[in-house]
Amino acid sequence: MKNRILKNEVTGIIRGAIAEDLGGFGDITSKYLFPDDLDSSCHIVCKEAGGAILSGLDIALFVFEEIDAGIKMERLKNDGDSLRSTEKICNISGAASSILKAERTCLNFIQHMSGIATLTSRFVKIASPYNIKIVDTRKTKPLLRKIEKYAVLCGGGYNHRFGLFDGILIKDNHIAAAGGVSRAVESIREKIPHTLKIEVEVKNPEELDEAINSKADIIMLDNMGPEEIKAAVKSVREERGAATKIEVSGNVTLRNLEAICTTGIDLISVGAITHSAPAIDFSLEFE
């Protein structure tokens, strides 16, 4: 089952992006230079060295549809596919003025989403031999969380909670306000939808111990180095015999990732895959 995004889930984003580019007067360059009946054929091609991961092609299709229902598009690749350099991802044909009107908006989606998918895949490639999942964070661009978290899936990563409303993460301020880890976990467990697990962020062995005692469902080891992490895993797994999921978070880079992967944890959350992924270069070329 491939990753797919449905048009009715992104209609607002697509219309907003188009409106942003067309403004009040529309595409004043193309409008006055192209005869109404001029049709063209073109394709979109990836300009990067090989290994980029495609994400956003579904949305590209919706942008063209939204601007001109008469445009035809042939999909040559799917979201999640790895691309060779200069590989074509789709063919497009129809009114030249409509194609030019959609071009930049369409490419802006693909270049940004593929950037996230590609950076994610580089983390995944290192972590997956260790059976460790790379998960995203809430460090996304405003208004774009939906498509950025979708792009993470395309890159082989996994989603953490979507927002503050669909997952519990108890941090130091919560613990202080509640009067300790146990009281925080119990208090929140009593109130929240029973379908949600409780994750507790811990900074040292004492907090870790309390979190295990309070039967937290997930432990997040925050900003620890590989040695600290190893000790924490040992404490949870061997000393306490707990199967609690262990997530590592904070300052994880492509450089230190492998060291972290050897520690026996379950998940690594990485803000950089959504907040700092450089764009992948795509181009629309006329034939």
Told to judge if 234 belongs to the known catalytic residues of this protein, a careful annotator would answer: no
- Which of 48, 136, 201, 266 is catalytic? The answer is 201
Question: What's the min distance (Å) between Cβ of 78 and its own copies?
Answer: 11
Work out the angle between the directed axes of helices 7-22 and 57-67 (0-180°, nearest 10): 60
Told to judge if 84 belongs to the known catalytic residues of this protein, a careful annotator would answer: no
Query: Of 263 and 282, which CB lies nearer to its own copies in the complex structure?
Result: 282
Told to judge if 139 belongs to the known catalytic residues of this protein, a careful annotator would answer: yes
Residues 6+ apart with CB under 8 A from 93: 39, 40, 41, 42, 71, 72
Q: In terms of DSSP H, where are the helices of 128-171?
A: 145-154
Contact 276, 123 (CB under 8 A): no
Told to judge if 104 belongs to the known catalytic residues of this protein, a careful annotator would answer: yes
Tokens of 160: 């953490």
Question: What's the min distance (Å) between Cβ of 159 and its own copies?
Answer: 5
Residue with tokens 């048009």: 7
- Which of 139, 183, 203, 230 is catalytic? The answer is 139
- Which of 104, 141, 215, 234 is catalytic? The answer is 104
Long-range pairs, 176-184, Cβ under 8 A, ≥24: 180/210, 181/207, 181/210, 181/211, 181/213, 181/214, 181/216, 182/210, 182/213, 182/214, 184/214
Query: Of 141 and 234, which CB lies nearer to its own copies in the complex structure?
Result: 141
Question: What's the min distance (Å) between Cβ of 39 and its own copies?
Answer: 11
Counted residue by residue, the chain has a size of: 287
Question: What's the min distance (Å) between Cβ of 126 and its own copies?
Answer: 19
Told to judge if 191 belongs to the known catalytic residues of this protein, a careful annotator would answer: no
Query: Of 229 and 273, which CB lies nearer to its own copies in the complex structure?
Result: 273
Strand order in the sheet with 133-135: 133-135, 267-269, 245-249, 218-222, 198-202, 168-170
Question: What's the min distance (Å) between Cβ of 206 and its own copies?
Answer: 19
CA 249/CA 260 separation, integer angstroms: 10
- Which of 222, 237, 240, 245 is catalytic? The answer is 222
Active site residues: 104, 139, 171, 201, 222
